[in-house]
Copies of this chain bind each other. A is one copy, B any other.
């Protein structure tokens, strides 16, 4: 990944003229102004300060060539990919760079690294693909002799498929595309496609309770993990790969979502499905977000949801079309359709089926009948195919916005169907009030993208003209939205995890005693407190 943003240069998009006009007209952004990242040479990172004795032990454990403290590697592991992360790194602030990046090749090497670091009181930050948007992979050195980033990318050899039981044992360091490629060789898929898919890892997904874009159909990662192998400073925590058990509290569910503070997830056994041989993604339009939510609820509760189900609110529908980088293509066509059908201020939905050709057609008939009964108008495949092509493009767009001095941030929650409309409104209001009060009134968009029988996620994107103190502006917006979510009965995070940025709200989410229980587990597994300090636990 490029050090100052998302992904690789070759894949970056660009803003359309319409998007530029929108930023100027609706946010007051100066179309000529640019805020590029500082040149790499100007990035400031502290001197690497790994104690010599430790470097020797680490080298003995993983091989000297896998203990790196060159400037490039350290800066690449300094921050994740959240908005505040990028604001800081683009400005040249890599003060959080680790003293070294250590790349173990196996769970046994991970154990050796943890033993050495526990003895020398060196903080260990597990690092998968580094795509955290909540500060989950940023090294914290406070009170420690040093901090290392433990890059799992070499723990990536094993993909062992049980084709009868439809499970697969996966090494944690496998990146999304490689995991799917190797699963595909056995004719199966995990079906887990978060927006970060190309640059995130199996271990990262499990550690953060990730949900993919097709999780309505395939299930979120916590529903797909059958067993985990987690190496902690106190030893190995492993769970049996059985389909279900009544053997006490679920230790698997303690490891899933533990964000590196208990140990290092080295392996997961996951449920897989036959790789789909057919796909059908299509667009639908609803007259309003409320109407669309209701139709989605009925569909989901009837067991008729597609793999991908996504409904944009009125503002997201309008702005997505305007912002679309590829002017004149499918998005525009979709817009024309909508106007024709009298849904000019309506909401766009994407409904995507994956499976066998005939099975998809059968399912689609039932789903379409329900959506039509709920007021939906079918827009055909173009909007669906366009969405699918652009499904991983969002973070590139954020780089473009940052370059133009635009705050572009996302946050997400989930709540019950009966509370969905109220929470949607409360968060929008909170963002508008917080940013409006600073003289940078935002555009706030939202979509529902993960359906459950009892409720759904709400995924907000907001844009505003960037203030000089971009971090203070971001913090004000983030705090306002988070307080609104907590007061409004949502969860502080549906699939981004807690990390550093949500820590403050974990006690509201889980209660003081709940936090105490997590602390007790951490103290037992990580007595020296070296595992990913400053994350998850307040």
Q: Footprint of B on A, CB under 8 Å?
A: 162, 164-167, 208-211, 220, 222, 226, 232, 234-259, 262, 271, 273, 297, 301, 414-419, 450, 452-457, 489-498, 502, 506, 509-514, 516-521, 523-525, 536
CA distance A497 to B237 in the complex (A): 21
Contacts of A495 in B (CB 8 A): 244, 246
Q: Pick the residue among B166, B210, B254, B417 that contacts A250 (CB under 8 A).
A: B254
Nearest CB in chain B to that of A417: its residue: B165
Nearest CB in chain B to that of A230: its residue: B513
CA distance A457 to B517 in the complex (A): 32
Q: Are B417 and A514 in contact (CB under 8 A)?
A: no
Contacts of A502 in B (CB 8 A): 247
Q: Are A248 and B518 in contact (CB under 8 A)?
A: yes
Query: Shortest distance in angstroms between A507's beta carbon and chain B's nearest beta carbon?
Result: 11
CA distance A232 to B493 in the complex (A): 26
CA distance A512 to B417 in the complex (A): 42
Q: Pick the residue among B250, B257, B416 that contacts A242 (CB under 8 A).
A: B416
CA distance A251 to B162 in the complex (A): 30
Q: Are A524 and B517 in contact (CB under 8 A)?
A: yes
Contact A520:B524 (CB < 8 A) given known A243-B414, A246-B494, A456-B243? yes
Contact A167:B247 (CB < 8 A) given known A511-B236, A513-B232, A523-B520? no
Q: Pick the residue among B237, B491, B509 that contacts A513 (CB under 8 A).
A: B237
Q: How many copies does the complex hold?
A: 2
CA distance A456 to B517 in the complex (A): 32
Nearest CB in chain B to that of A510: its residue: B251
Q: Pick the residue among B301, B489, B520 that contacts A520 (CB under 8 A).
A: B520
Contact A414:B244 (CB < 8 A) given known A250-B253, A254-B249, A454-B271? yes
Query: Shortest distance in angstroms between A454's beta carbon and chain B's nearest beta carbon?
Result: 5
Sampled A-B contacts (7; CB under 8 Å): A210-B246, A211-B244, A220-B244, A241-B416, A248-B498, A249-B254, A517-B525
Nearest CB in chain B to that of A208: its residue: B246
Q: Are B242 and A414 in contact (CB under 8 A)?
A: yes
Q: Are A514 and B237 in contact (CB under 8 A)?
A: yes
Q: Which are the 9 A-B pairs with shortest beta-carbon distances?
A: A253-B253, A243-B455, A243-B452, A209-B246, A165-B416, A245-B491, A520-B524, A164-B418, A250-B253
CA distance A361 to B242 in the complex (A): 32
Contacts of A236 in B (CB 8 A): 511, 513
Q: Pick the residue among B244, B247, B513 that contacts A492 (CB under 8 A).
A: B247
Contacts A162-B418, A165-B416 given; 6 further ones with Cβ under 8 A?
Answer: A165-B419, A241-B416, A244-B455, A249-B256, A249-B518, A251-B514
Interface centre among A245, A259, A454, A456 (most CB of B within 10 A): A245
Contacts of A497 in B (CB 8 A): 246-248
Query: Shortest distance in angstroms between A480's beta carbon and chain B's nearest beta carbon?
Result: 19
Contacts of A519 in B (CB 8 A): 524
Q: Pick the residue among B249, B417, B452 that contacts A244 (CB under 8 A).
A: B452
Contacts of A523 in B (CB 8 A): 520
Contacts of A222 in B (CB 8 A): 244, 250
Nearest CB in chain B to that of A416: its residue: B165
Contacts of A240 in B (CB 8 A): 489, 491, 509-510
Query: Shortest distance in angstroms between A258's beta carbon and chain B's nearest beta carbon?
Result: 5
Contacts of A211 in B (CB 8 A): 244, 246
Interface centre among A297, A301, A450, A455 (most CB of B within 10 A): A455
Contacts of A498 in B (CB 8 A): 246-248
Contacts of A246 in B (CB 8 A): 208-211, 257, 491, 493-498
Interface centre among A208, A243, A244, A520 (most CB of B within 10 A): A244
Q: Are A254 and B254 in contact (CB under 8 A)?
A: yes
Nearest CB in chain B to that of A450: its residue: B244
CA distance A455 to B257 in the complex (A): 24
Query: Shortest distance in angstroms between A192's beta carbon and chain B's nearest beta carbon?
Result: 14
CA distance A454 to B166 in the complex (A): 6
Interface centre among A246, A257, A455 (most CB of B within 10 A): A246
Q: Are A454 and B237 in contact (CB under 8 A)?
A: no
CA distance A112 to B512 in the complex (A): 19
Q: Are A248 and B259 in contact (CB under 8 A)?
A: yes
CA distance A154 to B485 in the complex (A): 35
Contacts of A244 in B (CB 8 A): 211, 220, 222, 414, 450, 452, 455, 457, 491, 494-495
